[in-house]
Amino acid sequence: MQMKKDNMIHFNVPPFTGNEFQYMHEAVNNHKICGDGEFTKKCNAWIEERFHAQKVLLTTSGTSALEMAALLCGLEPGDEVILPSYTFSSTATAFVLTGAKLVFVDIRPDTMNIDENKIEQAITSKTKVICVVHYAGVSCEMDKIMEIAHKYNLFVIEDAAQGVMSSYKGKALGTIGDFGCYSFHETKNYSMGEGGAIVINHVEYNEKAEVLREKGTNRAKFFRGQVAKYNWVDYGSSYLPSDLNAAYLWAQLQIAEAINENRLKTWKRYRESFKELSDKRMIELPVVPYGCIHNAHMFYIKCKNLNERQAYIQFMKENNILCVFHYVPLHSAPAGYKFGRFNGSDQFTTQESERLVRIPLYYNIDKYDQELVIDKTLEFFAK
Ligand SMILES: *Cc1c(COP(=O)(O)O)cnc(C)c1O
């Protein structure tokens, strides 16, 4: 059980299952706390097996997984990357590092995901990559997106930071495009403090990815006994996390199903409790399209407009409940102007982002806290 530090209902409490300290202790006793120790290997193998992924490598963050994916696509200055504007800065900044230009595409109002029907018109002779974000762990329309990518010979990177344990038509998110990126930040469903993973879906990128992650060396090959000594072979960085962090994550992966069930239960309870408000068209609730299985990464509601949202957040705060909004659309942020352009008209991105508010949902959130969130929300909208 999580300890309460105050009488607030927090928006997020990092997951803790009970075995984290024991595994971290083991890592220390093994005299192996740097990267690619036993726990890192266990986590990589677990994810590969559970998600039928060709190759998985833990990284220091979801952001660094995205950076690796951008580098593996061989992006060069002037190349263009298509992505939604309604996302976290990491999705964009990973590509900016390669000198690529960002081309933002509008979202669908129902899932808040990139609108698959607006991608094709954003493609130019310079387009190299489509980067999709599976918002709230609900999949983008991947059949259509992969079809477009094949037609124009583009890479697809899945920002599945929020989509660990979600699937689209039976395939785990992150395993559908060329590369998938997970986050294990403390705000995500499974955590190692700061951390993430890259999923590599084609075997021909495995070696390059290992080199990138290990400071440009072929150390991974050396450890497998495939080369006599290791060498600096290409450019790279340090994208491998400490085994101490992996030990923390391992405790959660071992009970990943239970964590998922627990979150889904809360999610469903919220949804049922707010159904009437939604039926009366006072709020809108998340939509999960056919074929998508989600992981209850978040529960959001959509108010009428910005004013109502701010009033709701304020009302909840006065009742010791912390609700948050996020993502000022990237195309309207200072760096967005500098590094990108919005293709077509912004029909939904700004409008929908201003209405959305996230309510407390985390592993093992107290039943009575859930009740309070529900009661206070109903009270607000009754007024
Ligand atoms: C959390 C998140 C990231 C970044 O992950 P970090 O592990 O914090 O670097 C990237 N994209 C999306 C959509 C996210 O939610």
Pairing status of strand 127-133 against strand 80-84? parallel
d(CA 107, CA 331): 13
* Residue 47 near residue 65, CB atoms below 8 Å: no
d(CA 347, CA 286): 19
Residue 229's alpha-carbon distances to 205, 220, 222, 352, in angstroms, are 21, 11, 6, 55
327 falls in which pLDDT band (50, 70, 90)?
confident
Residue 4 has pLDDT above 70, yes or no: no
Mutate to test the pocket of ligand 1, among 63, 64, 166 (most ligand atoms within 8 A of CB): 63
368 CA from centroid of ligand 1 (Å): 30
Percent of the chain predicted with pLDDT > 90 = 94
227 CA from centroid of ligand 1 (Å): 35
270 CA from centroid of ligand 1 (Å): 24
Beta bridge partners of 346: none
d(CA 235, CA 144): 35
What pLDDT does residue 383 have?
Answer: 85
182 CA from centroid of ligand 1 (Å): 8
- Tell me the pTM: 0.97
Task: Output the residue whose Cα is nearest ligand 1's atom 2.
Answer: 161
296 CA from centroid of ligand 1 (Å): 16
Indicate which atom in ligand 1 lies nearest the CA of residue 184.
7
d(CA 157, CA 376): 40
Residue 131 has pLDDT above 90, yes or no: yes
Look at residues 361, 193, 336, 190 and name the one whose alpha carbon lies nearest to residue 270.
361
d(CA 357, CA 136): 12
181 CA from centroid of ligand 1 (Å): 9
Residue list, ligand 1 pocket, CB within 6 Å: 61-63, 87-88, 90-91, 133, 159, 161-162, 183, 185, 196
Task: Output the residue whose Cα is nearest ligand 1's atom 5.
Answer: 62
Indicate which atom in ligand 1 lies nearest the CA of residue 188.
1
Total residues found in the chain within this entry: 383
Q: Report the Cα–Cα distance between both ends of the chain, in Å, rounded.
A: 35
Structure tokens, 41: 């290997």
Long-range contacts, 180-184 (Cβ 8 Å, 24+): 180/53, 181/62, 181/65, 181/66, 181/69, 181/157, 182/47, 182/62, 182/65, 183/61, 183/62, 183/63, 183/65, 184/58, 184/62, 184/249
d(CA 96, CA 181): 17
> What number is the average pLDDT over the span 232-255?
97
Residue 1 has pLDDT above 50, yes or no: no
Beta bridge partners of 56: 199
More confident residue, 383 or 320: 320
What pLDDT does residue 193 have?
Answer: 97
**Nearby residues of 360 by Cβ (< 8 Å), 6 or more positions away:** 9, 10, 11, 12, 321, 322, 323, 369, 370, 373
